[in-house]
Amino acid sequence: MAGTGSGNTPGSTGRTSSFVLVVDSDARSLVFMSMILQRLEYPACSALGVGNALEMANASVPSLVITELNLKGMNGLELIHHLRQEPRTRAVPVIIMTKELTPELDQQCREAGAAACIGKPIQANELFRVIHPVMDPESRRKNIRIQTRLNVFVNDHPLDCVEGECASMLSTKGMYIRTLKPYALDTQVHIRIDLNEETLSAAARVIYSHTYGEEPFGTPGMGLQFLTITPHDRDLIRRFINEEVSHGIAPGWE
C-alpha cells in the first residue's frame, strides 16, 4: 500500500515525529479514519474533540491534522484558528472533512487556513491525493498503490500462480508483476486482469525488470507503466483500490 511519510514539513519547528492527528467528536468515525490511514501506512493518532486535539498537538506536534468540520463545542475552522495561535503548531497543515462539501464551503475552509477540504464518505484515492504531498513531499508518486495478488495474462499467456507469479502491486498508472520470466526494459506488452468480475485490459511498457537473485529485489519481476487504458478500466482499478483499503470498515462512513 501507500508508503509512509518521510519526515517533517517546512516550518515545523519542534516536530519530533511524523504522524497524522485525526480529530472528530464521534469515536466510531475516529476508529475508522485511523484504520484507513494505517492501511495507507501513515502513522495516526486520534483525538476525541477539540480540547483533546489541542492538548495532544502541543505535547507532540503532528505532521498533519485531519479534522471533521462539525465538532461538538467548536468547529474545524475554529480549531485551525487555535492551532495558528501557538508557535509550535502554527505551520501544521490542516485538512477539513465534511459531508456537506460545496465549492463555497471549500473556499471558506481555505480562507480560514485549511490546506484542503475533502468530502465524506472518504475515498482512499482522494485521501491519498491530499495527504501524500504533506507526509512525503519529496516523493514523485501521485497515485495510491496497493499490495495485492491477482491472476494476470501477459501477451495472452497466463502467469503460473502455483509458482507465485501474479500481479502483486497495482495503481491506476501501472503495476508490478512477479514472474519467473520478466521482459526486457522498454518492452511493450498487453495485460489482462480480472477485477470485480470484470476484465481489465491495457497496453503497458516495462519500466524496470530484474531476474532471480538480482539485487536489491531478490525475486524476479517487472514494473509496468500503462500506456493505453480506457477510462472505464482505470476507474475499475480506482474502485478496486478503494474497496481493498476500506474493506471491513466501510460502515464507519455512514
Let me know whether 41 and 75 are in one domain.
yes
DSSP 8-class letter at 25: S
CA 173 to chain centre: 14
User: Is residue 15 pLDDT above 50, yes or no?
Assistant: no
User: Is residue 121 pLDDT above 80, yes or no?
Assistant: yes
Mean pLDDT, to the nearest integer, of 111-128? Answer: 89
Let me know whether 217 and 119 are in one domain.
no
User: Is residue 154 pLDDT above 60, yes or no?
Assistant: yes
Higher pLDDT, 213 or 113: 113
* Residues 35/90, Cβ–Cβ less than 8 Å: no
User: Is residue 208 pLDDT above 60, yes or no?
Assistant: yes
Let me know whether 120 and 152 are in one domain.
no
Asked which of 112, 142, 172 is the last residue of a domain, the reply is 142
Let me know whether 158 and 201 are in one domain.
yes
Q: Residue 7: inside a domain, yes or no?
A: no
DSSP 8-class letter at 187: -
pLDDT of residue 250: 55
Per the prediction, the chain carries an average pLDDT of 85
**182 SS3 class:** coil
User: Is residue 1 pLDDT above 90, yes or no?
Assistant: no
Per-residue confidence at 217, pLDDT binned at 50, 70, 90? low
Let me know whether 86 and 133 are in one domain.
yes
Total domains in the fold of the chain:
2
CA nearest neighbour of 183 among 203, 160, 155: 155
- Could you tell me the CATH number of the domain that includes residue 197? 2.40.10.220
Let me know whether 166 and 116 are in one domain.
no
- Domain span at residue 237? 145-246
User: Is residue 174 pLDDT above 50, yes or no?
Assistant: yes
Let me know whether 132 and 48 are in one domain.
yes
Asked which of 115, 142, 169 is the last residue of a domain, the reply is 142
Let me know whether 132 and 161 are in one domain.
no
Q: Residue 13: inside a domain, yes or no?
A: no
Q: Residue 72: inside a domain, yes or no?
A: yes
Asked which of 108, 126, 142 is the last residue of a domain, the reply is 142
Q: pTM score, two decimals?
A: 0.75
Q: Which positions ≥6 away from 63 have C-beta within 8 Å?
A: 5, 8, 9, 12, 15, 17, 18, 19, 20, 92, 93, 134, 135
User: Is residue 236 pLDDT above 70, yes or no?
Assistant: yes
Higher pLDDT, 164 or 109: 109
Cell, residue 196: 470485480
Q: Residue 3: inside a domain, yes or no?
A: no
Cell, residue 161: 500462480
Mean pLDDT, to the nearest integer, of 99-125? Answer: 90
196: phi then psi, degrees, rounded to nearest 5? 50, 45
Mean pLDDT, to the nearest integer, of 6-34? Answer: 70
Let me know whether 100 and 163 are in one domain.
no
Q: Residue 202: inside a domain, yes or no?
A: yes
* Residues 44/24, Cβ–Cβ less than 8 Å: no
* Residues 83/58, Cβ–Cβ less than 8 Å: no
User: Is residue 138 pLDDT above 80, yes or no?
Assistant: no
Percent of the chain with pLDDT over 90: 55
Higher pLDDT, 175 or 2: 175
Higher pLDDT, 194 or 196: 194
Mean pLDDT, to the nearest integer, of 36-61? Answer: 91
Burial class (CB within 10 angstroms; exposed 0-12, middle 13-18, buried 19+) of 221: buried
Q: Residue 9: inside a domain, yes or no?
A: no
User: Out of 9-13, 60-64, 194-198, 229-233, which region has the weakest mean confidence (pLDDT)?
Assistant: 9-13
- Could you tell me the CATH number of the domain that includes residue 33? 3.40.50.2300
Q: Residue 158: inside a domain, yes or no?
A: yes
Let me know whether 198 and 123 are in one domain.
no
Q: Residue 88: inside a domain, yes or no?
A: yes
Let me know whether 128 and 45 are in one domain.
yes
Let me know whether 228 and 191 are in one domain.
yes
User: Out of 2-16, 102-116, 216-230, which region has the weakest mean confidence (pLDDT)?
Assistant: 2-16
